[in-house]
Amino acid sequence: MTRSVIIAGGGIAGTVAAIALHDGGFAPVVHEAHERGADERGAFVTLAVNGLNALRDLGLDPGVLLAAGFPTPRMVLRGASGQPLAELPLGGPLPDGTTTTTIRRADLYAALRTEAERRGIPVAYGKRLVHAATDGPGVSVRFADSTSAGADLLVGADGLHSRTRRALDPAAPAPRYLGLLNAGGFTAGPVDPALRPALGVMQMAFGRRAFFGWAAAPDGSVWWFANPPRRTPAEPGEFTPDRWRAHLLELLAGEAFPAAALIEASTEVIGPWNTWDVPRLPVWHSDRIVLVGDAAHAVSPSSGQGASMAIEDAVTLGRCLARTTDMPAALAAYEAARRKRVEKVVAYGRRSSSTKTAGPVGARIRDAMMPVVMRMLHRNGDPQAWILEHRVA
Ligand SMILES: Cc1cc2nc3c(=O)[nH]c(=O)nc-3n(C[C@H](O)[C@H](O)[C@H](O)COP(=O)(O)OP(=O)(O)OC[C@H]3O[C@@H](n4cnc5c(N)ncnc54)[C@H](O)[C@@H]3O)c2cc1C
């Protein structure tokens, strides 16, 4: 008999898990809290090759699926005076030409949901899970619209502030704030070539008061993000869009790199988002409920790995469940396959984040030491190979 699965969350982990489980002979239904299209605000995501490789394992062609994005296989890190500190590979090309790809978040979500629906997987919108419990041999869930559903398995793919995580373990640790805010934007069309970096190279600079990243899109526009350090998270409604833009312009005024000009050239300045991680969750699953993606282990956005970890989780879960009819054993195998790797990536992301919050003395030491340290680290190959060259077992 086909086993039914409720997937809470139609983001990256949820849609990919749905495709992986559907391939494994399960009957998943994705339940997304937002109405169709309502959650698709946001800036962009740089999806690393390890995540793209995992999509390929599901028979998806990243070149087709992410056609709205563009390759970003390299990164230049700059100091406060704009000088390059290091040029690093960001991932790829793999033997088939795949490289790390940058794509608008809305386009990524839409592509994954369209692919799930094309395979006949239902995606229900406006379904915010508010309660979940084991119910005899299965699970039952309730949504905010007072409807309910039951299934053989619940996959919690409901992101950083996961409700499923709390249902699974009411004592689960809360996400940890990392001392950085996030902003992003797109220039309104092509910009002056003097402001536009080389295609394929993500630029990142340690500004004096905020970290800034930018990349040229093939249409001549520039996509950018900023990370202002801040001791406490931003409160909802604390910044109007105009105040947020003014705040970023003030923080990035007078830098040797074109942050202020790029913000000025953008019609919409998105954010702020707070930056969090979830370093170690004691409970990932019960016999009938399991967490994937940010619900299980959010990593700092500074790692550039959150989306790829979500995809790797989802593909691994699908494989573990397809290998045996013993569901508790499959969920335990999934945790065993994933926990060590994601916790190592979370720790790596936290270290990357902390380089962005250094004070003036720390920043001078960082800018002086980084070129030397990077040269040493790269002497024996790419030190990020353990992240980027990983293949799902
Ligand atoms: C500013 C920022 C920049 C980032 N940049 C990058 C990057 O460049 N590269 C990268 O790899 N990662 C990046 N990340 C991290 C990445 O976005 C996440 O790790 C990734 O989206 C996790 O996927 P997910 O499916 O677990 O969660 P999400 O993508 O957040 O999806 C969760 C889904 O669940 C839905 N949901 C929430 N609660 C419920 C509920 N109760 N019931 C039903 N549905 C629910 C949400 O609406 C959402 O659609 C960034 C994160 C941020 C905040």
Q: Give 149-170 pLDDT, tens digit per residue.
A: 999 999 999 999 999 999 999 9
174-212: pLDDT as tens digits: 999 999 999 999 999 999 999 999 999 999 999 999 999
Q: How far apart are CA 118 and CA 373, in angstroms?
A: 48
User: Does residue 112 line the site of ligand 1, with CB under 6 A?
Assistant: no
> What atom of ligand 1 comes closest to residue 298's alpha carbon?
19
The whole-angstrom distance between residue 292's C-alpha and the CA centroid of its chain comes to 12
Three-state DSSP class for residue 186:
strand
Arithmetic mean of pLDDT, 279-290: 96
pLDDT band at 39 (very low <50, low <70, confident <90, very high): low
| Residue 132: DSSP 8-state | E
Three-state DSSP class for residue 66:
coil
CATH architecture for residues 177-276: 2-Layer Sandwich (3.30)
State yes or no: pLDDT of 370 exceeds 80.
Answer: no
Which amino acid, one-letter code, is at 317?
Answer: L
Model confidence, pTM: 0.95
Number of residues in the chain: 393
Q: How far apart are CA 27 and CA 141, in angstroms?
A: 16
333-359: pLDDT as tens digits: 999 999 999 999 999 988 887 777 677
The whole-angstrom distance between residue 150's C-alpha and the CA centroid of its chain comes to 29
Residues of the chain within CATH 3.50.50.60 domain(s) are 4-69+104-175+278-356
Arithmetic mean of pLDDT, 10-17: 97
pLDDT band at 41 (very low <50, low <70, confident <90, very high): low
Q: Which of 22-36, 114-128, 281-295, 379-393 has the lowest mean pLDDT?
A: 379-393
Residues of the chain within CATH 3.30.9.30 domain(s) are 177-276
Arithmetic mean of pLDDT, 287-308: 96
pLDDT above 70 covers what percent of the chain?
A: 98
Average pLDDT, the chain: 93
Nearest one of 204, 210, 213 to 186, comparing CA atoms: 213
CA–centroid distance, 366 to ligand 1, in Å, is 30
pLDDT band at 246 (very low <50, low <70, confident <90, very high): very high
User: Does residue 302 line the site of ligand 1, with CB under 6 A?
Assistant: no
Nearest one of 385, 215, 229 to 302, comparing CA atoms: 229
State yes or no: pLDDT of 374 exceeds 80.
Answer: no
Report angle CA 363, 360, 184 to the nearest 5 degrees: 70
Q: Which of 87-96, 310-319, 331-340 has the lowest mean pLDDT?
A: 87-96
pLDDT value of residue 157: 98
Strand order in the sheet with 176-187: 84-89, 74-78, 201-206, 211-216, 222-227, 176-187, 266-277
State yes or no: pLDDT of 366 exceeds 90.
Answer: no
Which amino acid, one-letter code, is at 354?
Answer: S
Residue with the smallest CA separation from ligand 1 atom 51 is 301
pLDDT value of residue 354: 78
- CATH code assigned to 4-69+104-175+278-356: 3.50.50.60
> Strand 27-31 vs strand 123-124: parallel, antiparallel, or unpaired?
parallel
Which residue has 């490789």 as its token pair?
53
CB atoms within 10 A of CB 203: 22
Q: Which of 12-26, 217-231, 313-327, 342-356 has the lowest mean pLDDT?
A: 342-356
Three-state DSSP class for residue 1:
coil
CB atoms within 10 A of CB 83: 11
Arithmetic mean of pLDDT, 360-364: 73
State yes or no: pLDDT of 37 exceeds 80.
Answer: no
User: Does residue 24 line the site of ligand 1, with CB under 6 A?
Assistant: no
CA distances to 67, 285, 393 from 52, in Å: 13, 26, 15
pLDDT value of residue 333: 98
CA–centroid distance, 160 to ligand 1, in Å, is 7
Arithmetic mean of pLDDT, 254-263: 96
Query: Of residues 26 and 39, which shows the higher confidence score?
Result: 26
Residue with the smallest CA separation from ligand 1 atom 3 is 301
Residue with the smallest CA separation from ligand 1 atom 31 is 11
Arithmetic mean of pLDDT, 91-100: 87
State yes or no: pLDDT of 368 exceeds 80.
Answer: no
55-71: pLDDT as tens digits: 999 999 999 999 999 99
> Strand 129-135 vs strand 201-206: parallel, antiparallel, or unpaired?
unpaired
pLDDT value of residue 100: 97
Q: Which of 36-40, 53-57, 316-320 has the lowest mean pLDDT?
A: 36-40
Q: How far apart are CA 300 and CA 204, in angstroms?
A: 16
Report angle CA 366, 369, 373 to the nearest 5 degrees: 115
210-219: pLDDT as tens digits: 999 999 999 9
Which amino acid, one-letter code, is at 200?
Answer: G
Residues 6+ apart with CB under 8 A from 139: 6, 132, 133, 150, 151, 152, 153, 154, 288, 289
> What atom of ligand 1 comes closest to residue 305's alpha carbon?
11
pLDDT value of residue 268: 85
